């Protein structure tokens, strides 16, 4: 399996995020992608390719154009307003406030286009976001050209980003961009299988009213886990999309025996949908030692996940999402991929 990777991700580093009343160093750090890349090499997963340049047309197929155009302006505006460090919002247009007027002040624009204080901007953030997007599209191109699978080593991740909002370390929804790109290239149906520990609220929101993208999500129950405000089992899609969104919320402490039953059910529903392509939102924050997560998967479980996905027998794009146990992130992510490939 080929991997697409860009070193430009590293400019998005030294971030701070707002967690439980405190500004803390970001868990989503550059070493994550470097350790995965090193493991791709030592495990000889396959060739590592740079991304090809892409303009933002494909991003604007799933995101509001004004949101995408806002992203490169954030850090310059933050600096011009006399601030330094991580650009973060501190106020949001919740129920009872005006969400229809885009403010001018940069700190307010950040609130308008986000749902939490978990998507900081530093100087190199936009370049990293753009490169992550190009990584996803380049890897999609490999699958379209006939490869059985490809690995988009995206950083920053994407699945929390919705049509016009960022959050949870995510800015452009790389998996959603890829799914839409496959449709635009002639696919009739695409499935997105999200195995990250956190519910992919952005992906769900983007495709909620559509039947041409099936979205399946395995995640920590939002009653107690981030992103809290989406991801319940009764969210099944709306209108045309009714029945094409499938959620598997699971409690803290979930081990692989229970998790893999959810995966089995998801794979059966995916196979029945018979998509032309599968996009896997690949998070390994389900790992027992993940510092911000509460599932109990072991390193030896990841190859089994890859094997189950391989059994679908469908062209598959893997898009990197979360995973914060940095020491084992390469073992777990590449373990899943070698399970698929071998
Ligand atoms: C892509 C992805 O995995 N995003 C996850 C964003 C999670 N943000 C919320 C972090 C909450 C951390 N809870 C702190 C517990 C640490 N003791
Ligand atoms: Zn996650």
Q: Can you tell me the mean pLDDT for 29-47? A: 98
Q: Can you tell me the mean pLDDT for 123-133? A: 98
Q: What is the pLDDT of residues 86-115, one digit of tens each?
A: 999 999 999 999 999 999 999 999 999 999
Q: What is the pLDDT of residues 302-326, one digit of tens each?
A: 999 999 999 999 999 999 999 999 9
Nearest protein Cα to ligand 1, atom 8:
168
Q: What would the two tokens of residue 21 be? A: 């009343």
To the question of domain 2-15+23-63+122-341 being in CATH 3.20.20.100, the answer is no
Q: Is the pLDDT of residue 8 over 90?
A: yes
Q: Can you tell me the mean pLDDT for 41-56? A: 98
Distance from Cα 292 to the centre of ligand 1, integer Å: 5
Pairing of strands 22-25, 16-19: antiparallel
- Cβ of 292 closer than 6 Å to ligand 1, yes or no, is yes
pLDDT-above-90 percentage for the chain: 99
Query: In this predicted structure, what is the pLDDT of residue 249?
Result: 99
In 3D space, the residue among 298, 324, 338, 334 whose CA is nearest the CA of residue 37 turns out to be 334
Distance from Cα 2 to the centre of ligand 2, integer Å: 24
- Ligand with the closest atom to the CA of 173: 1
One of 160, 198, 199, 219 is an active-site residue; which one? 160
Measured CA to CA, the distance from residue 302 to residue 284 in angstroms comes to: 8
Contact yes or no for 51/138 (Cβ under 8 A): yes
- Cβ of 198 closer than 6 Å to ligand 1, yes or no, is yes
Q: What would the two tokens of residue 135 be? A: 């990584």
Whole-model pTM: value is: 0.98
Q: What is the pLDDT of residues 235-267, one digit of tens each?
A: 999 999 999 999 999 999 999 999 999 999 999
Nearest protein Cα to ligand 1, atom 7:
168
Q: What is the pLDDT of residues 262-299, one digit of tens each?
A: 999 999 999 999 999 999 999 999 999 999 999 999 99
Count of Cβ atoms closer than 10 Å to residue 43 Cβ: 15
- Cβ of 273 closer than 6 Å to ligand 1, yes or no, is no
Q: Is 9 a catalytic residue?
A: no
Distance from Cα 197 to the centre of ligand 2, integer Å: 5
Which atom, in ligand 1's list, is nearest to the CA of 285? 3
Query: In this predicted structure, what is the pLDDT of residue 6?
Result: 98
Distance from Cα 226 to the centre of ligand 2, integer Å: 9
Measured CA to CA, the distance from residue 266 to residue 272 in angstroms comes to: 10
20 — pLDDT class (breaks 50, 70, 90): confident
Q: Is the pLDDT of residue 209 over 90?
A: yes
Contact yes or no for 203/159 (Cβ under 8 A): yes
Q: What would the two tokens of residue 145 be? A: 């050209």
């Amino acid at each position: 399996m080929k991997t697409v990777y860009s070193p430009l991700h590293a400019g998005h580093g030294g971030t701070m995020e707002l967690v439980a009343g405190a500004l803390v160093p970001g868990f989503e750090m550059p070493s994550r992608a470097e350790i995965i890349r090193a493991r791709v090499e030592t495990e000889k997963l396959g060739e590592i390719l740079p991304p090809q340049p892409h303009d933002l047309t494909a991003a604007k197929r799933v995101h509001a154009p004004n949101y995408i155009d806002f992203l490169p302006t954030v850090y310059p505006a933050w600096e011009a307003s006399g601030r330094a460090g991580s650009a973060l919002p501190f106020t949001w247009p919740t129920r009872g406030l005006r969400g229809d007027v885009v403010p001018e002040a940069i700190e307010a624009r950040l609130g308008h286009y986000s749902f939490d204080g978990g998507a900081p901007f530093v100087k190199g953030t936009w370049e990293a976001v753009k490169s992550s997007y190009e990584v996803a599209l380049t890897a999609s191109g490999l699958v379209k050209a006939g490869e059985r699978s490809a690995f988009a080593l995206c950083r920053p991740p994407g699945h929390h980003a919705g049509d016009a909002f960022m959050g949870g370390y995510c800015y452009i929804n790389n998996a959603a961009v890829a799914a839409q790109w496959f449709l635009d290239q002639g696919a009739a149906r695409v499935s997105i299988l999200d195995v990250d520990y956190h519910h992919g609220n952005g992906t769900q929101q983007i495709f909620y009213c559509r039947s041409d993208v099936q979205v399946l999500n395995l995640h920590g129950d939002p009653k107690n886990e981030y992103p809290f405000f989406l991801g319940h089992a009764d969210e099944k899609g709306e209108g045309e999309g009714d029945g094409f969104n499938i959620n598997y919320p699971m409690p803290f402490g979930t081990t692989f025996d229970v998790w893999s039953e959810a995966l089995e059910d998801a794979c059966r529903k995916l196979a029945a949908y018979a998509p032309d392509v599968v996009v896997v939102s690949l998070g390994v924050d389900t790992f027992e030692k993940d510092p911000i997560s509460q599932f109990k998967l072991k390193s030896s479980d990841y190859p089994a996940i890859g094997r189950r996905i391989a059994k679908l027998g469908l062209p598959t794009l893997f898009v990197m999402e979360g995973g914060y146990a940095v020491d084992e992130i390469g073992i777990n992510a590449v373990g899943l991929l070698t399970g698929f490939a071998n």
